Structure 1
Amino acid sequence: MLIRFGVHSGQQYRSFSEGLELWQRAEELGYDWVSLFDHYRPQLGGPQGPCFDGPTLLSALAARTDSIRCAMLVSTMTWRHPALAAAMAATIDHVSDGRLEFGLGAGGFDFGYEQYGIDFPAPQDRLDMLEESCHVMRSLWTEECTTFDGKHFTLRDARLEPKPVQPHLPLVIGGGGEKRMLGIVAKHADVWNMLVTDEGVYRRKLDIIARHCSENGRDPGEIRPSITFRAVLAETEWEAERRRRERLQILPPDSPDLSEYLTFGTPDQCVADLLPYLRLGVRDFLIGFRPPVDWRTMELFAGHVAPALRAADSAEVPR
């Protein structure tokens, strides 16, 4: 299973052209993946910050790229019924000529619930909705007719045509909850994504997924472990420190994305920071960007970090 490198771009831009520039540049630089999220009023950016609608923007950007995998990381069933999400995903898979990877999650904080008057169910209910949605969407993508009786969703002789271009549209599940979420990952995920965390914590979560896979008769090797992180890179440590200070001046002291920064340093330092996760079996390394886009880090990661990790993987780094 080859490793992949991606850009998690989000959509907190003030014009379509800004997001399009990032996506097309990611493709030019040789990234394998680029993704949006499915928030409406995300905490990052505050209650007044800009944020385009995820699914419609994803479709538009997919139509303006050629080869890069196009992903939603991730959608929550609090926004729309899973049958509608399945139809939306199938449509985007056609727009992208079979390059979609669709992510689902249990949902988190969003100012949109309060601002737009949308219900935000309790965590247990959202996890139930997530698991039911996995069943509903996979069935609609693959079966001629779907009937489903769940606690939250009910379908009667439901049909979806045309089916996705991909015979098996990859389902990404995002989240790391150990009591319930990782069991859902083990049953349904093709890709499991979470924000970067301590190596020991990550290893424990992998072990939990493997145990759940064993209980469900599934090979854990069928699931691609994926991490999302941020970094600020420069050619020298001195320059990296200067750029770190500049980035921290942009971010408010209580910014929720501060904990996502894995590396402030050179490309070699970033490789060293990511190697332990490669050894743990991570297959997708997704670097997150937000406006103003750090183009230098994006270029250094593609030009130096990704090739070094691919070389390490080819050398069969012990896992």
Structure 2
Amino acid sequence: MLRFGVHSGQQYSTFEECLGLWQRAEELGFDWVSLFDHYRPPLGGPDGPCFDGPALLAALAARTSRVRCALLVSAVTWRHPAVAAAAAATIDHISSGRLEFGVGAGGPDLGYEQFGLPFPDSGTRLTMLEEYCGILRRLWDGERVTFHGEHYRLTDAYLRPRPLQRRLPLVIGGGGERRTLRVVARHADVWNTLAGDLDGYRRKVGLLAGYCAEEGRRPAEIRQSITFRAVLAPTPEEAGRRRAERLALLPPGSPDLAEYLTFGTPEQCVTDLLAYAEVGVRDFLLGCRPPLDWQTIELFATRVVPELRARAHATRS
């Protein structure tokens, strides 16, 4: 089954603006809405707004009733895995069992310098991620955990109450081909990455299948999830105009530009996404940030989602 969502982030100036997006997404029939877990995202600049991820997620979960509520993703550098496990279990209860919790090795964030937080090298962070995922799963599954690793130490640790879900979905974010995908193969229920170019994504899928074989897992046990951005309009002419307007909002050389998969009509977006469905993607998450592009959000919900569901079903049949 395909799922469609909005990756909203939390770079809003008021709680009401973010809440309005989540509740509207639920009304539009989206399956999923997610935050990230940055403190000072570089794109927002050194003084841009950004709410705390887990705290905001708990509040939004309490004010929605159906959509899956996700953190996509939390960096291993922010908090101890036992603390993260307890926060996740709490939010799962608040949401009545709708949480999907994402973790990753982390990337650039102005908070490291502003707050004086350590930011280890990528190799160290990936070793932390391996230990982190194992600790989360064991605590969520109700084990009494003693673990003395390279980065974390737990002695007779126990989590109560456990998550409401029998198996709280662990999302691992990232596309590193040598180490991240190995961690995904070992621990993930869902693998999320930016869509990127299709050939590159297809190569990663093949690598992940090989790592799954080494771990004794079937690739189908791990849901493939992509995050992307789009600018949609009813006609190609209007799409071109709206593309120019959106690009004018981005600073020169913005890394965000590479996240845009479609500048065009809903039909073009269906074509672009169907290619990813054909290589196994089951979760399609539309990235949004202020100023919100409501036309794209609503066209995606009303014209892309039903058509892509139908075409993907026909392809599988």
TM-score (norm 2): 0.99
Specify the code of the residue in structure 2 equivalent to 1:217.
G
CA distance in structure 2 between the aligned counterparts of 1:146 and 1:46, rounded to whole angstroms: 40
Deviations 1:95-118 (A, max 9, x none): 000000000000000000000000
Is 1:42 the counterpart of 2:47? The answer is no
Name 2:154's counterpart in structure 1. 155
Instruction: State how 1:37-186 maps to structure 2 within 5 Å.
Output: 37-186=36-185
User: Shift in Å at residue 143 of structure 1?
Assistant: 2.4
- Residues 274, 312 of structure 2: 8 Å contact kept: no
Indicate the SS of the match to 2:281.
coil
Runs of 4+ in 1 over 4 A off after TM superposition: none
CA distance in structure 1 between the aligned counterparts of 2:199 and 2:245, rounded to whole angstroms: 31
- Residues 171, 190 of structure 2: 8 Å contact kept: yes
User: Shift in Å at residue 144 of structure 1?
Assistant: 3.7
CA distance in structure 2 between the aligned counterparts of 1:166 and 1:108, rounded to whole angstroms: 29
Specify the code of the residue in structure 2 equivalent to 1:16.
F
CA distance in structure 1 between the aligned counterparts of 2:53 and 2:118, rounded to whole angstroms: 19
CA distance in structure 2 between the aligned counterparts of 1:4 and 1:44, rounded to whole angstroms: 28
Name 1:190's counterpart in structure 2. 189
Q: Which moved more, 1:165-174 or 1:142-151?
A: 142-151
Indicate the SS of the match to 1:7.
strand
CA distance in structure 2 between the aligned counterparts of 1:175 and 1:249, rounded to whole angstroms: 28
Deviations 1:29-67 (A, max 9, x none): 000000000000011111111100000000000000000
Name 2:307's counterpart in structure 1. 308
When the two chains are superposed, the root-mean-square deviation of aligned CA atoms in Å is 0.9
Name 2:28's counterpart in structure 1. 29
Q: Which structure 2 residue ranges, 5 or more long, are not aligned? A: none
- Residues 232, 262 of structure 2: 8 Å contact kept: yes
Name 1:4's counterpart in structure 2. 3
Specify the code of the residue in structure 2 equivalent to 1:85.
A
CA distance in structure 1 between the aligned counterparts of 2:149 and 2:113, rounded to whole angstroms: 27
Indicate the SS of the match to 2:203.
helix
CA distance in structure 1 between the aligned counterparts of 2:148 and 2:186, rounded to whole angstroms: 19
Instruction: State how 1:262-301 maps to structure 2 within 5 Å.
Output: 262-301=261-300
Name 1:257's counterpart in structure 2. 256
User: Shift in Å at residue 76 of structure 1?
Assistant: 1.0
User: Shift in Å at residue 313 of structure 1?
Assistant: 1.7
Q: Which moved more, 1:238-247 or 1:225-234?
A: 238-247
Specify the code of the residue in structure 1 equivalent to 2:58.
S
User: Shift in Å at residue 249 of structure 1?
Assistant: 1.5
Deviations 1:209-267 (A, max 9, x none): 11111111111100001100000101111111111111112112222211111111100
Specify the code of the residue in structure 2 equivalent to 1:34.
V
Indicate the SS of the match to 1:280.
coil
Deviations 1:254-286 (A, max 9, x none): 222111111111000111111110101100000
Specify the code of the residue in structure 1 equivalent to 2:229.
R
User: Shift in Å at residue 93 of structure 1?
Assistant: 0.2
Q: Which moved more, 1:64-73 or 1:202-211?
A: 202-211
Specify the code of the residue in structure 2 equivalent to 1:174.
G
Name 1:204's counterpart in structure 2. 203
Specify the code of the residue in structure 2 equivalent to 1:68.
V
- Residues 92, 163 of structure 2: 8 Å contact kept: yes
Specify the code of the residue in structure 2 equivalent to 1:112.
G
Specify the code of the residue in structure 1 equivalent to 2:205.
L
User: Shift in Å at residue 317 of structure 1?
Assistant: 4.2
CA distance in structure 2 between the aligned counterparts of 1:251 and 1:200, rounded to whole angstroms: 26
TM-score (norm 1): 0.98
Name 2:227's counterpart in structure 1. 228
CA distance in structure 2 between the aligned counterparts of 1:55 and 1:27, rounded to whole angstroms: 20
CA distance in structure 1 between the aligned counterparts of 2:89 and 2:255, rounded to whole angstroms: 33
Aligned pair count?
317
User: Shift in Å at residue 289 of structure 1?
Assistant: 0.6
Indicate the SS of the match to 1:37.
strand
Deviations 1:139-172 (A, max 9, x none): 0111241111110001111010000000100000
